Chain A
Amino acid sequence: MSRNYKILATTIFILLIFIFFSYVLFNKIDEKKSDEEFSKGRVIGNLEVSVIDSENNKIKKDKIYNYLKDNKTNIIHFWASWCSTCVKENVSLKEYIKNKKDINLISVIFKDDISSIDFKNLKNLYNINIDDSNGFVALEFGASGVPESFIVDSNGKILKHIIGNISNGELS
């Protein structure tokens, strides 16, 4: 009886350890989702950003809130030309938002050489391009990589955080 009890106790102990590690492992897999949920509801600061004039690649300093529209879906999209996924995504995004007038797509170019970017080609895609050469805009939003996107309201409140590529389903 005592031996059976010991076997039972050991089995339960091993089972508990197994459940604990499974829980940790599954939470790890869901880390992307929990990171996205964490940003929701936070209000971003009205920080000064470097806005690129697409005609002559000149930069002017302005507050980010000045570019958030009240009646549109503001999508702040972090990308870089050195990130091949981002470049491919630009093509699919262009296709998707072609007939959508209610989207205000703001591009934040993360740590990139902006002189190498063809802004004329991007003109129909992004409403504004922001140069984030020191990465401070990405840190203010709480981004942890590119491509990454944030849907914000006109008061700077984060409504949705998308890590990785934006799928068409997520936008609609």
Chain B
Amino acid sequence: MRKLFLLFILAFFKLSSFASIQPVEFEDNTQLDLYNKIINNIKCVVCKAQSIVDSDTDFSRSMQTLIAEQIKEKKSEEEITSYITDRYGDKVLLNPPVDIKTYLLWFMPIGICLVLAVITFKNLKKLL
């Protein structure tokens, strides 16, 4: 019963995440895969917390259409991504590149976890 309930909930997540993909036709599956890869990595510029796939804003729809057009023009993933980051910055990517500006973003959580782990292990005796 619990598994069934979980499946039911998961089914809804699946539906919602594909709710606002624009119907686009490509020459082959490689283009479709590239399209899905790019649109899942771009953040909505209006609502910020969602990808353009999950967001239903006019800007996200335009972004999807623009990416599809550029794929049809045989542009590479790098060319399309840099077209968008040139205009909106790296923060528009859901998976931003690891560089000097994002070290804090990538490694701070690990750092905090390590510090907390050390504190916990040191005080393990007291806690138990």
Contact = CB atoms under 8 A, between A and B. Distances in A.
Contacts, number: 43
Interface in A20-70: 20, 35, 38-39, 42
Interface of A: 13, 17, 20, 35, 38-39, 42, 110-111, 134-136, 138-142, 144-145
Given A38-B89, A144-B46, A145-B46, A139 B115 contact: no
B46 A139 contact: no
Contact of B87 (A17, A42, A110): A42
A144 B88 contact: yes
Interface string B42-82: 00011000000000001101110110000000000000000
Interface residues of B, number: 16
Interface of B: 45-46, 58-59, 61-63, 65-66, 86-89, 108, 112, 115
Contact of B58 (A35, A110, A141, A142): A110
12 contacts: A17-B112, A35-B89, A111-B58, A111-B62, A134-B66, A135-B65, A135-B66, A139-B62, A139-B66, A140-B87, A144-B59, A145-B46
B59 A42 contact: no
